[in-house]
A and B are shown apart, each in its own frame.
Chain A
């Protein structure tokens, strides 16, 4: 079974703090993704990575950065957390293949910035 784990289920941070969200997958997937989920907006892609040290901006990268030093680990960094970054953050991974069937998701991290 593919497993995608995220470092925290719930996180509370103060405005201006630097926040690290960690994601680890155990299936040797090339692609990894970070989304945020907000009511009425669905899942919006922040960043994705298709290989170690490679990253691409998604639809809403402002205020975020990422790091992928090892294939299994993809980190999302909020350089200076703001209240509008309060959200559910979902990590996912997938194979690189035209026939790949799905993304595998982690359980999510609910981040509150006060």
Chain B
């Protein structure tokens, strides 16, 4: 079974509008972490936001927020007030901790296009 599922291969959003990128995950661990990364066309992976499985509040970082619904195993990324520079690939990822190492799983990504 897929550990991380991103069901939107591509999305369009108008500049200045908000957009939600979907992510669902699958784990039987009690302790895990959820991440979102941005990958512009230049190729580097940029860390955006993190949510721990025990965090009760949704994580926020500037215009990014993570809508964490534990019972539904979803961790959607919300970008408010989209900007042209937000056009990129976005990856959802999960860290499971095992013994002395952490293993990460990535989704297939969502390509976001922000229209002027």
Residues of A within 8 A of B (CB): 30-31, 33, 35, 40-45, 48, 50-51, 56, 88, 90, 92, 94, 96-105, 107-108, 110
Interchain CB contact under 8 A, A48 and B103: yes
Q: Is B68 an interface residue (CB 8 A)?
A: no
Residue in A41, A50, A101, A110 whose CB lies within 8 Å of B33: A101
The yes or no answer to B102 lying at the interface (CB within 8 A) is yes
* CB-defined A-B contacts under 8 Å, sample of 19: A30-B101, A41-B108, A42-B6, A43-B91, A45-B103, A45-B104, A48-B101, A50-B100, A51-B100, A56-B101, A90-B45, A96-B100, A97-B102, A101-B35, A101-B50, A103-B104, A104-B47, A105-B44, A110-B43
Residues of B at under 8 Å CB distance from A?
4, 6, 9, 31, 33, 35, 37, 43-45, 47, 50, 52, 91, 93, 95, 97, 100-109
CA distance A98 to B98 in the complex (A): 9
Q: Are B102 and A100 neighbours in the complex by a CB distance under 8 Å?
A: yes
- A98:B97 contact, CB within 8 angstroms: yes
A101 CB, nearest partner CB in chain B, Å: 5
- Taking the nearest CB of chain A, how far is it from the CB of B96, in angstroms? 10
CB distance from A76 to the nearest CB of B (A): 16
A-B CB pair tally, cutoff 8 Å = 65
Q: In this complex, what residue of A is CB-closest to B39?
A: A37
Bound together, the chains give a CA A90 to CA B43 distance in angstroms of 10
Which residues on B sit within 8 Å (CB–CB) of A42?
4, 6, 91, 106-109
Query: Which residues of chain A come closer than 8 Å to B108, judged between CB atoms?
Result: 40-42
CB of A96 within 8 A of CB of B102, answer yes
Nearest chain B CB to A55 CB, angstrom units: 11
If A40-B108, A45-B103, A96-B100 are given as contacts, then 12 extra A-B residue pairs at C-beta distance below 8 Å, sorted by A number, are A42-B6, A42-B106, A43-B91, A51-B100, A90-B45, A94-B104, A100-B102, A102-B50, A103-B35, A105-B44, A108-B43, A108-B44
